[in-house]
């Protein structure tokens, strides 16, 4: 980790603090957390439910802020992230650190007092995992960074469920597994078409370290357990046919989009359309799966 | 304001920009604190009616 070159002479604007929380990433986190909460068999008071989702969002925002605080040097050399508040010189690193720690502590304390201990403990684990295990330990050291680090993004449905029930059960664990196994093909599809960015930043993403062929094979391999986890809730009797049919159809499309990515070889100047298509669909896929989990509970 | 347009420290323009940003942040913080007070009140009412899992 190195310091950011830009000199900060003005206090950051509130919009920069908002940008620090990665609002776009947060939307998926909030959605999966909400679906975990709605899929629980226990009705939850709307205010407590709202507070739980707010805490998940604030916790994710804190993790995002601490990630940007630590990775300001990487962000500065990557085109995709160079406009963020720290590399762009709109905020000093100490403000980002204080904001991230303060927001994280606030989210956990509020979760404990307003919701319950189990949800607060899992929220703490998710923030610490993202910051210490993924950002600080794995990301710069191993191409397995997003495989293990994917767990950090998989916690929200567990937290949502725990907020409603005060407990953890098999269905939220399967929802955790779906996000965990979905993360590698999702990020490796992205890494295939922004490989140069990662290489310039010295981040050992799989295409940079092991090459494109290995990455494509791994995307294909990881799609198999992901598909199994995605479809499993129905045959296991944890959801009804609404989720079952949606998951089978959505997973089949995912598999169809994965096949060309896993089998082809991109030439010089390739537009990487199949990879971009898979990446875009993978986001939609997660939304549709989790919406189906919640809908299945409410339609049953 | 972009990075290129940032006024030089020590100038009046710089002081004005600092004050404007401080005022903007203070307004947002006031709104957030107000929302937090309302949230705490709502949580207290919800807890009194037995709305949380433990």
B-chain CB neighbours of A6 within 8 Å are: 3
DSSP B5: G
Give the separation between CA A33 and CA A52, rounded to whole angstroms.
9
pTM: 0.89
The model's pLDDT over A95-151, given as tens digits with 9 standing for 90+, comes to: 999 999 999 999 999 999 999 999 999 999 999 999 999 999 998 899 888 888 889
Q: Tokens in use for A185?
A: 């093909």
Give the separation between CA A198 and CA A213, rounded to whole angstroms.
17
Cβ of residue B18 closer than 8 Å to a chain A Cβ: yes
The residue written with tokens 């990515």 in the block is A261
Give the separation between CA A246 and CA B41, rounded to whole angstroms.
40
Give the separation between CA A196 and CA A167, rounded to whole angstroms.
44
Mean pLDDT score of chain A = 92
The model's pLDDT over A181-206, given as tens digits with 9 standing for 90+, comes to: 999 999 999 988 887 788 888 888 89
Cβ of residue B11 closer than 8 Å to a chain A Cβ: no
Q: Closest Cα of chain B to A95: distance in Å?
A: 13
Nearest to A13 by CA among B34, B2, B24: B24
Beta strands in chain A (DSSP E): none
The model's pLDDT over B1-54, given as tens digits with 9 standing for 90+, comes to: 555 567 778 788 889 999 999 999 999 999 999 999 999 999 999 999 875 555
Partner residue opposite A13 with nearest CB, options B8, B21, B43? B21
Q: Closest Cα of chain A to B34: distance in Å?
A: 15
Partner residue opposite B17 with nearest CB, options A10, A47, A89? A10
């Amino acid at each position: 980790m190195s310091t950011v070159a830009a000199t900060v002479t003005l206090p950051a604007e509130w919009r920069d603090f908002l940008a620090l929380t990665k609002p776009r990433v947060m939307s998926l986190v909030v959605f999966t957390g909400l679906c975990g909460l709605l899929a629980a068999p226990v009705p939850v008071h709307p205010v407590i439910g709202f507070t739980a989702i707010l805490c998940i969002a604030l916790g994710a925002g804190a993790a995002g802020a601490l990630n940007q605080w630590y990775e300001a040097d990487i962000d500065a050399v990557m085109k995709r992230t160079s406009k963020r508040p720290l590399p762009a010189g709109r905020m000093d690193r100490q403000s980002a650190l204080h904001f991230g720690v303060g927001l994280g502590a606030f989210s956990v304390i509020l979760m404990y007092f307003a919701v319950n201990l189990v949800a607060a403990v899992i929220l703490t684990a998710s923030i610490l995992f993202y910051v210490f295990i993924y950002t600080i330990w794995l990301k710069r050291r191993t191409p397995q960074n997003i495989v293990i680090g994917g767990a950090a993004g998989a916690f929200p449905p567990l937290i949502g469920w725990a907020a409603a029930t005060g407990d953890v059960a098999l269905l939220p664990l399967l929802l955790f597994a779906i996000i965990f196994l979905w993360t590698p093909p999702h990020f490796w599809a992205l890494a295939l078409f922004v490989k140069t960015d990662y290489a310039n930043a010295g981040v050992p993403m799989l295409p940079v370290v092991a090459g494109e062929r290995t990455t494509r094979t791994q995307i294909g391999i990881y799609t198999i357990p992901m598909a199994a986890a995605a479809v499993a809730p129905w045959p296991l009797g944890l959801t009804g046919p609404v989720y079952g049919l949606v998951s089978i159809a959505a997973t089949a499309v995912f598999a169809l989009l994965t096949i060309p990515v896993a089998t082809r070889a991109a030439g010089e100047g390739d537009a990487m359309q199949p990879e971009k298509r898979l990446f875009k669909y993978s986001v939609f896929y997660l939304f549709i799966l989790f919406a189906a989990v919640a809908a299945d509970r409410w339609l049953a | 304001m972009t990075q290129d347009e940032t006024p030089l420290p020590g100038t009046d323009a710089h002081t004005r920009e600092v004050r404007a940003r401080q005022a903007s942040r203070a307004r947002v913080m006031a709104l957030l604190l107000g929302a937090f007070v309302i949230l705490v009140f709502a949580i207290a009412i919800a807890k009194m009616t037995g709305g949380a899992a433990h």
